Structure 1
């Protein structure tokens, strides 16, 4: 697992533990009025994952040495720190913004364009902030559950957040540095493909545990999505009514999680 996977890993494993004890398929969630769209779309996404993403991820893991895999993950995590720093400021977390900006500068220079992560060794830890969290911080509700083609679990607020995250990603602006639109598309598409393969490879075991433990795979991912958003927007201070015991699970996982 690499940078950016803590919330997902925590949620998947804790939810898997919760749902494995259920004896029947969970009832429909009132936050999911578009279930008639969402379930078929998840089935479509699962098929794409089975026949495309999983084979690519396994091949990527097989041909990629561990130090290269770590470097690629660090590189994309370093780029994401730009987005993190911007959202720190938008949420009024100015001290954290300073830390994350310093983290980006250290890893970009000393860490050779983010290939290494020396910032973590000098007490500049990785944080996780995105535009969806910022919107939630300012009181905008998540909205109904929505499964996006290829992208998976989301919501109306999540879609807006995704647009903001894309705008904050420097890879989106490769066209400004090239004369050819075809070259720009190839560069941004290639980097996006490598990032997707790297993330999928890092989560192969996590997804397998979730799929085997959940009585209703669709209901599991729906509940995990809402719990993850609540966890992140509230900086881990989830309410007692949250379906997943995130803090306890993260503590149990901490010895094997390098992030």
Structure 2
């Protein structure tokens, strides 16, 4: 089974499992989060998976890997990510930025030995953060309600579509060997978890309500990225038009 089929299957499973839980959902007063009861249960499940599996694996990875090797792995996946960043630049009509990000990928792939060394940053070619979720937001697609996806974490309906689009732009998805593809995606997930050990600890200790903290952090960050930090003063995280019987959000973030 190739990676595209695996990705499609995972996304279908996520959507089905989320829909199955909707029958027992108790709505909240937060219009951004009508499925709060379900979402909290899923976050508890995800937290347990992280506590007993991902976090120990990340800690072991960080302990085993020398710092230079850890950084090389991070650089490698960051370089591959620049392909999707460049494509999303173009779809958002950020022509100059797409040229910079495309050049960054070429420089790191050639001079950086396949992206293991971030030469581009050394010569002042900055790293940008663009993904298909942001592209959909720029195109006017509304974010939809907040959702916590089993194993994947915070998202929205637009975020799920964005993740599928990003997977389609990632060349790792098209490798012939499913074992190699799965291994690379797994290594990327472990590397990210290891890199976030300190950040996650600080965030958890600072949060009075862990669920609310991560929900607000996710929605605010996605909004910030869509607007490139230039947030309109009259925008809110999510508003619903009382005249819209479908409850469609007024503002795409």
- Please tell me the TM-score bracket, short chain as reference: 0.7 to 0.9
Please give the alpha-carbon distance, in whole angstroms, between the structure 2 residues aligned to 1:139 and 1:242: 14
Separation in 1 of the partners of 2:202 and 2:30?
A: 23
Instruction: State the TM-score, normalizing by the size of structure 2.
Output: 0.80
**What is the distance in 1 between the residues matched to 2:98 and 2:64?**
37
Which position in structure 1 is the counterpart of 2:5?
none
Q: Flag structure 2 segments of 5+ consecutive residues without an equivalent.
A: 1-27, 238-253
Q: Partner residue of 1:214?
A: 207
Are 1:36 and 2:37 matched, yes or no?
yes
Structure 1 runs not aligned, ≥5 long:
1-26, 176-183, 245-259
Does residue 130 of the first structure (1) align with residue 136 of the second (2)?
no
Query: Match for 1:230 among 218, 223, 237?
Result: 223
List aligned pairs for 1:8-157, cutoff 5 A: 28-157=29-158
| Deviates further, 230-239 or 129-138 | 230-239
Q: CA RMSD in A?
A: 1.6
CA distance in 2, matches of 1:230, 1:28: 21
C-alpha deviations, 1:52-106, integer Å up to 9, x for none?
0000000000000000001000000000000000000000000000000000000
Query: How far is the alpha carbon of 1:240 from its aligned partner?
Result: 4.9
Distance 1:193 1:118, change over 3 A: same
Residues paired across the two proteins, number = 210
**Cα shift at 1:242:** 8.0
Aligned to 1:74, what secondary structure does the other structure show?
A: helix
Between the aligned partners of 1:54 and 1:241, the Cα distance in structure 2 is 39
Runs of 4+, deviation exceeding 4 Å = 239-244
**TM-score between both structures, scaled by the size of structure 1:** 0.78
Query: Which sits farther off after the overlay, 184-193 or 77-86?
Result: 184-193
Instruction: Indicate the structure whose relative CO is greater, using CA pairs within 8 Å and at least 6 residues apart.
Output: 1
Q: CA separation in 2, counterparts of 1:189 and 1:28?
A: 40
Q: CA–CA distance in 1 between the matches of 2:59 and 2:65?
A: 10
Q: Report what 2:198 is aligned to.
A: 205
